[in-house]
Amino acid sequence: MYHYTQGRPTRQGHKGIPEGQFEEEQGLDGFYGPVSHLIKDRPSTRWNSIEGNLKPRMFDLVKHIAADLASNVDGGLQGQRLFYNNDITVSSLWIQPGVPNDQLESRRNADGDWMYFCHKGGGQVLSEYGVLDVTPGTYLVMPKCIGHTFFVKEPTQFLLIENRTSHFREPDRGIVGRHAPWDPNALVKPDLAGLYDLIRRENINVRTVRIKHTDELTTIRYDECVYDVRGWKGDLYPYTLHMDHIMPIVSHRVHLPPSVHTTFAARGFVVCSFLPRPLEEDADALKVPFYHQNIDYDEILFYHDGDFFSRNNLHAGMMSFHPAGFPHGPHPQALEKVKTKTRTDEKAVMIDTRWPLKRDEALARFEVANYWKSWMTK
């Protein structure tokens, strides 16, 4: 459809919105497709009641504690499932220290790639390709069927993203070139010599392999350690990317859509990283996320670290769910708070899915009651 205007629109999206009015973006294809900006007297988040299941929701994953039995390996390797559809499973997984070094196991996913995002703790992950370090803020991409073993000295919590119908790929970089928002050289490759140094130093012996296939577990046992590769070549291997090595794309003049923060892409969903950045400098530029309907996508946002000024009562470890079909945007208090801010200081992971997400019934344990009311001023 051709670009068209009615009434008195703004010249530039997210900028020059008349005092006392609000802009709402309605867009298809997750910020890539046809889009319109509507100038309104009041935001669409001014509801006074919502009846039915389609609501924005908030969950506190701090309540998913390290001691939670549902998170143990025998819970199915994925910990506590949170959201899922045909393309993706999103879980909270705790890996516990204290397993004797000669009793450690290898874990393998025959249902898809895993992406682990380390929220707390950290350690090392062993695989046949070598060893990788994992610290808070690390994305670890573990391709389908590659066995791996976590070696942690403290309880370690991951946001675990299972890619069931494709493989993770880099985002479309388009006009920003090949080295933004992250340089391919920022990917950390596994260290094979380091693997054997660690195994020798810690007397590690891994003889049990647990495989998830069609969401059921199979266990294979060996007499010898399964890590015995002496060399490898190829372009299939696990790797890490740390959030601190992502260079956010910004404009000093106008708020850019969340799609510029895409870190990895997959069939049916994208993973984005929101990172500390300066706010827009132009006096008439919108400095908080615009009100919007991301019409084709469900949105999950996991708050990892920092100061989340855009919402009240928000702390690290919380997760919001803004399903498609729902207008959302900043809370009224964020519009006030931003006036004194020159930069954001928050680190968050966003997962946008093309097809609707189902909520695991266990999520009810973590739900913050009446989140949808948080936009209401009375």
Interface ranges with Fe ion (CB under 5 A): 294, 299
**Whole-number Cα distances in Å, 331 to 7, 77, 278, 366:** 27, 37, 20, 22
Nearest approach, Cβ of residue 348 and Fe ion (Å): 12
Alpha-carbon distance of 97 to 131, in angstroms, equals 17
Structure tokens at 356: 């609707």
Cβ at position 302, least distance to Fe ion in Å = 13
Beta-strand runs (E) in 103-237: 105-109, 113-120, 123-127, 130-134, 138-142, 148-152, 156-163, 208-213, 216-221
Nearer to Fe ion, 299 or 305 (CB): 299
Q: Using the minimum distance from each CB to Fe ion, give the nearer residue, 107 or 328.
A: 328
d(CA 26, CA 11): 16
**Nearer Cβ to Fe ion (226/295):** 295
CB of 326 to Fe ion, least distance (A): 9
Exposed/middle/buried for 170, CB within 10 Å: 0-12, 13-18, 19+?
A: middle
Q: Which residue's CB atom is positioned nearest to Fe ion?
A: 299
- Least Å distance, CB 82 to Fe ion, is 18
Give whichever of 138 and 294 is closer to Fe ion, judged by the CB atom. 294
Instruction: Tell the smallest beta-carbon distance from residue 42 to Fe ion (Å).
Output: 19
Nearer to Fe ion, 34 or 325 (CB): 325
Length reported for the chain = 378
Write out the H or E segment, with its range, that includes residue 277: strand 277-278
CB of 270 to Fe ion, least distance (A): 12
DSSP 3-state of 60 = strand
